[in-house]
């Protein structure tokens, strides 16, 4: 039986900064419960039960539940409460495709509007760190973790280059889904024979899109990023094919949320 945390002080009437901090903590803890598999797909969630489990007041919990519904991890039930979503493989493919569409649009905007030399230099430095990691013939878990950090940094730099908060907000929402982010499947691939090869292909696309942006070739930059996102779908297919179901769920518990094709 899990230990119930000591309830926090109510946040109602507290300063806005404290309210926001409590909401962020509630959101992160709830998301982790889902993505770690502790709250499996199909699990019914009642607000009061989560209040007791996390030891927080209703206000931040309610806000976190609403946010997770907006992200697509939860579904509101007609008579109250929520249920943890399950995703079909088609749902995941669509989310990845949508991410590629938005990233492609951002890359096009960056190329057409032009990017400063400082921004290009930062992106090149990030890609140089990735290339150094991929120089090893085989990557260990530490190298994969370092790749995830650098990969996330590079994708963030691309968003910043476009200078489009509107599109960036939509991309952030898509990336919050458990399988749509640029590094969504990387850490689960540590033992995959083809993992490094996939990352080498991804790195070539990183270099190509940066070149297209620098040359102000918007259509080319967009096409590369859309193709780049499809690597995630290939990664999922490779994981499902190469790894036993038990090993896969140990490496990536959130994979349980995906309903596999028969």
Per-residue pLDDT reduced to its tens digit, 5-36: 434 434 444 545 555 678 888 888 888 788 77
DSSP category for residue 10: P
Asked whether the predicted pLDDT for residue 1 surpasses 50, the reply is: no
Supply 20's token pair: 């926001």
Instruction: State how far Cα 143 lies from the chain centre.
Output: 19
Q: How far apart are CA 143 and CA 168, in angstroms?
A: 28
**Domains of the chain and CATH, by start:** 16-85 (1.10.10.10), 89-259 (1.20.120)
Predicted confidence (pLDDT) per residue in 218-249, tens digit: 999 999 999 999 887 777 666 656 554 444 44
Burial environment of residue 65 by CB neighbours within 10 A (0 to 12, 13 to 18, 19 or more): buried
113 to 118, 126, 164, 177, 215: CA distances (angstroms): 15, 22, 11, 29, 11
Q: What does the alpha-carbon distance between residue 69 and residue 111 come to, in Å, rounded to a whole number?
A: 34
Specify the pLDDT at position 104.
98
Residues 27-46 have a mean pLDDT of 83
Of 141, 96, 86, 35, nearest to 234 (Cα)? 96
Lowest mean pLDDT among 70-84, 125-139, 189-203: 189-203
The string of pLDDT tens digits covering residues 96-122 is: 899 999 999 999 999 999 999 999 999
Beta-carbon contacts of residue 12 (< 8 Å; ≥ 6 apart): 57, 59
d(CA 245, CA 189): 13
Please give the span between the terminal C-alpha atoms of the chain, in angstroms, as a whole number. 35
């Amino acid at each position: 039986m899990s230990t119930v945390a000591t309830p926090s002080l109510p946040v109602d009437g507290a300063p806005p900064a404290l309210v926001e901090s409590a909401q962020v903590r509630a959101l992160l803890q709830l998301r982790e419960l889902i993505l770690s598999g502790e709250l499996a797909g199909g699990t019914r969630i009642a607000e009061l039960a989560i209040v007791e489990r996390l030891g927080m007041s209703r206000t931040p919990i309610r806000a976190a539940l609403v946010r997770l519904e907006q992200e697509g991890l939860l579904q509101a039930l007609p008579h109250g409460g929520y249920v943890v979503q399950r995703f079909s493989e088609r749902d995941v493919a669509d989310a990845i495709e949508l991410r590629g569409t938005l990233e492609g649009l951002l890359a096009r905007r960056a190329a057409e509007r032009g990017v400063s030399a400082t921004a290009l230099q930062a992106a090149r430095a990030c890609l140089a760190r990735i290339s150094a990691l991929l120089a090893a013939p085989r990557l260990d878990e530490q190298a994969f973790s370092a790749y995830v950090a650098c990969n996330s940094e590079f994708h963030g730099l691309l968003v910043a280059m476009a200078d489009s908060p509107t599109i960036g907000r939509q991309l952030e929402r898509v990336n919050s889904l458990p399988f749509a982010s640029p590094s969504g499947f990387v850490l689960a691939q540590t033992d995959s024979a083809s993992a490094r090869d996939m990352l080498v292909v991804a790195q070539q696309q990183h270099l190509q899109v940066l070149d297209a942006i620098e040359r102000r070739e918007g259509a080319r930059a967009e096409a590369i990023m859309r193709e780049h996102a499809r690597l995630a779908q290939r990664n999922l297919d490779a994981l499902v094919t190469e790894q036993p179901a038990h090993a896969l769920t140990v490496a990536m518990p959130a994979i349980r949320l995906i309903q596999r094709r028969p």
